[in-house]
């Protein structure tokens, strides 16, 4: 391992470098353009030894910079910006040179604890496809909501319950005819078609990008309520299960654990922390809602939490448990086993007698 340490303050156009030796002596301070060619040229011209530790804060460009520096033989590390700022020697003095120096000097003294994991290229590709897919799905959904909002302004036109098919759109457009409202609906229909085509194209790309993880995806889909998108989102977010020492750490990373305030004799638990990936939390909560069905093995757990705390908290609790189950399945390469849930298959039909029911309101 080289004894030379470098700190980078990265911006969209320029990157400021500070290089130190193991004793803390500053060897160089300079700027270079934020491009692959400039970074590789800097490593060669400065003759940085193989294995030089290079630190930088997490940001939108950190991923490709890490891949570039790693290919050039550097040991790139991505640091949490909050920790860098909290442990800065002079927090009130902020400049590019100061930020690069704080990163370099803190890295030399092993001051930073948190590291931001940089996913490999295949995981990055999977994340990008899923991100674009969510983007166009939101556009597609926005067109449906916009049309429903327009129809609510006209009292004599019933608002359709669903607009997820060509038949429903054509039926609505033919009903409106050549009116001004009909022209507006056609514009939203055209945008809906474009967004749907993009989603279908991204679905094909997703199937191709999932090929290296086909075994893991098939394994995760054996869990109840987990489909292709949920499995792909879980793989793209987690990357490798070995990153987490336990399933509890993974649930905390996703943000499905309750916030805690414990001081003295006071201990209070609040809402979930919502740290980590919102996309994965959404996917797990959608999968957890399948537990409301009696045929789902997680249904007894769902019904118990629902009776105590309500439907929404039951969904979050099941999502928490499902995340931990998926982690154990992936880590141990085992399919879903209902016997590990402490539930047994016992179909039960219950009948009861009701003596009162809500009647129709009487007309005056």
Number of alpha carbons in the 13 Å side-chain half-sphere of residue 347: 1
Q: What gap in Å lies between CA 126 and CA 239, rounded to an integer? A: 10
Q: Which residues contact 120 (CB under 8 A, 6 or more apart)?
A: 239
Percent of the chain with pLDDT over 90: 76
pLDDT for 152 equals 87
**Of 194, 202, 205, 192, which is closest to residue 164 (Cα–Cα)?**
192
CB atoms within 10 A of CB 336: 18
Q: What is the DSSP string of 270-304?
A: EEE---S-HHHHHHHHHHHGGGGSTTSTTHHHHHH
Q: Given pLDDT bands bounded at 50, 70 and 90, which one contains residue 230? A: very high
Q: List 324's β-bridge partners, or say none.
A: none
pLDDT in tens, 308-360: 999 999 999 999 999 999 999 999 999 999 988 888 888 888 787 877 777 66
Q: What gap in Å lies between CA 10 and CA 7, rounded to an integer? A: 10
pLDDT for 360 equals 65
pLDDT surpasses 70 at 363: no
Longest dimension (CA), the chain: 92
More confident residue, 88 or 280: 280
Cβ contact 105:24 at 8 Å: yes
The rounded mean pLDDT for the chain is 91
CB atoms within 10 A of CB 154: 12
pLDDT for 362 equals 53
Q: Which residues contact 199 (CB under 8 A, 6 or more apart)?
A: 133, 136, 137, 140
3-state SS track over 58-106: CCCCHHHHHHHHHHCCCEEEEECHHHHHHCCCCCCCCCHHHHHHHHHHH
Residue spans of beta strands (DSSP E) within the chain: 5-10, 14-20, 26-33, 53-57, 75-79, 258-263, 266-272
Q: Which residues contact 5 (CB under 8 A, 6 or more apart)?
A: 19, 20, 21, 22, 52, 53, 54, 55, 104, 107, 108
């Amino acid at each position: 391992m080289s004894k030379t340490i470098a700190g980078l303050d990265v911006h969209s156009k320029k990157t400021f470098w500070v290089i130190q030796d193991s004793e803390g002596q500053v060897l160089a301070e300079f700027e270079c353009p934020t491009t692959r060619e400039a970074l590789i040229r800097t490593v060669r011209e400065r003759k940085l030894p193989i294995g030089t530790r290079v630190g930088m804060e997490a940001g939108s460009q950190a991923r490709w910079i890490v891949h570039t520096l790693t290919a050039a033989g550097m040991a790139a590390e991505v640091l949490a910006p909050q920790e860098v700022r909290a442990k800065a020697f002079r927090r009130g003095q902020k400049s590019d040179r100061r930020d690069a120096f704080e990163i370099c000097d803190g890295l030399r003294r092993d001051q930073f604890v948190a590291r931001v994991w940089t996913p490999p290229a295949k995981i990055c590709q999977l994340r990008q496809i899923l991100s674009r897919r969510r983007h166009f799905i939101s556009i597609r959904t926005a067109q449906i909501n916009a049309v429903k909002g327009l129809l609510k302004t006209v009292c004599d036109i019933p608002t359709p319950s669903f607009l997820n098919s060509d038949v429903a759109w054509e039926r609505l457009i033919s009903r409106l005819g050549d009116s001004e409202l009909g022209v507006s609906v056609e514009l939203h229909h055209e945008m809906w078609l474009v967004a749907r085509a993009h989603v279908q194209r991204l679905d094909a790309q997703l199937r191709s990008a999932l090929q290296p993880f086909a075994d893991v995806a098939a394994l995760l889909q054996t869990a109840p309520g987990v489909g292709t998108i949920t499995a792909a989102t879980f793989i793209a977010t987690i990357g490798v299960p070995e990153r987490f020492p336990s399933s509890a750490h993974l649930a905390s990373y996703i943000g499905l654990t309750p916030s805690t305030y414990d001081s003295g004799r006071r201990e209070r638990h609040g809402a979930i922390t919502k740290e980590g990936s919102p996309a994965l939390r959404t996917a797990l909560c959608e999968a957890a809602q399948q537990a409301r069905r009696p045929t789902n093995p997680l249904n007894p757990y769902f019904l118990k939490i629902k009776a105590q705390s309500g439907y929404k908290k039951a969904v979050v609790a099941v999502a928490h448990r499902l995340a931990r189950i998926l982690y154990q399945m992936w880590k141990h390469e085992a399919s879903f086993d209902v016997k590990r849930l402490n539930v047994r298959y016992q179909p039960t039909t219950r009948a009861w007698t009701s003596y009162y029911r809500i009647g129709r309101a009487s007309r005056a």
